[in-house]
Amino acid sequence: MVTKAVENDYPAAVHYLALMYHNGIDPVQVSDRRFTMLLESAADLGSPDAMYLLGDVYYKGDCGLESNLRRAFELFVEATQFQHAEAQYAAGLMCLYGLGTKQDLTQASELIGSAAGQDYLPAMRSLGELYINGDFGIKMDALGKAWLERADATEREQKSYDVGVPVIESTEL
């Protein structure tokens, strides 16, 4: 079934097959070359998850590919067009620190804010800390604290669903 979907250039199937080669899932053996080749194909076919993962591979210089921060940034930005929260966060951090692109605090704030707006916890926490520390050029304690509180609430909610029982805050009683 996966083979037929790959032959028909179904992006999610190509991405899945790439992951099979990365992890050595039976019946295939681990192959970094096939993994990166299939990941490139899935990204070219429009898979935002493949774009993000390939960007991460280029960022780290992993799986036989040399680190290429510019290419990593390009892939993260491409995935942001699909509202991919992890890619938004990664691209935002690269803008913040000028990695693979010029430093752009406005774009960093927008990208990290977009990821945080999708309840992506690392982005929510970073956004709060960045505002409190004034890393975007303006120190905004109240906004930073609000993001950290929202992150805490989101984390509690996610943990409660992990065990199947909603958590009731004592302030709600």
> Does residue 104 register a pLDDT over 60?
yes
Residue 167 falls inside a structural domain: no
The predicted model gives 98-126 an average pLDDT of 97
pLDDT of residue 144: 95
Task: Kindly report the CATH number assigned to the domain that includes residue 91.
Answer: 1.25.40.10
Is 128 part of a structural domain of the chain?
A: yes
Q: How confident is the model at residue 165, as a pLDDT?
A: 54
CB 85 within 8 A of CB 123: yes
Question: In this structure, is residue 19 part of a structural domain?
Answer: yes
Instruction: Over range 71-99, report the average pLDDT.
Output: 98
Mean pLDDT for 38-67 is 96
d(Cα 117, Cα 49) in Å, to the nearest integer?
Answer: 19
The CA distance from 114 to 126, in Å, is 12
Total number of domains in the chain = 1
DSSP assignment of 3-70: HHHHHTT-HHHHHHHHHHHHHT-TTSPP-HHHHHHHHHHHHHTT-HHHHHHHHHHHHHT-TTPPP-HH
Percent of the chain with pLDDT over 90: 73
In this prediction, residue 137 carries a pLDDT of 83
Does residue 170 belong to any structural domain of this protein? no
Q: What pTM was computed for the model?
A: 0.86
For the chain, what percent of residues have pLDDT higher than 70? Answer: 90
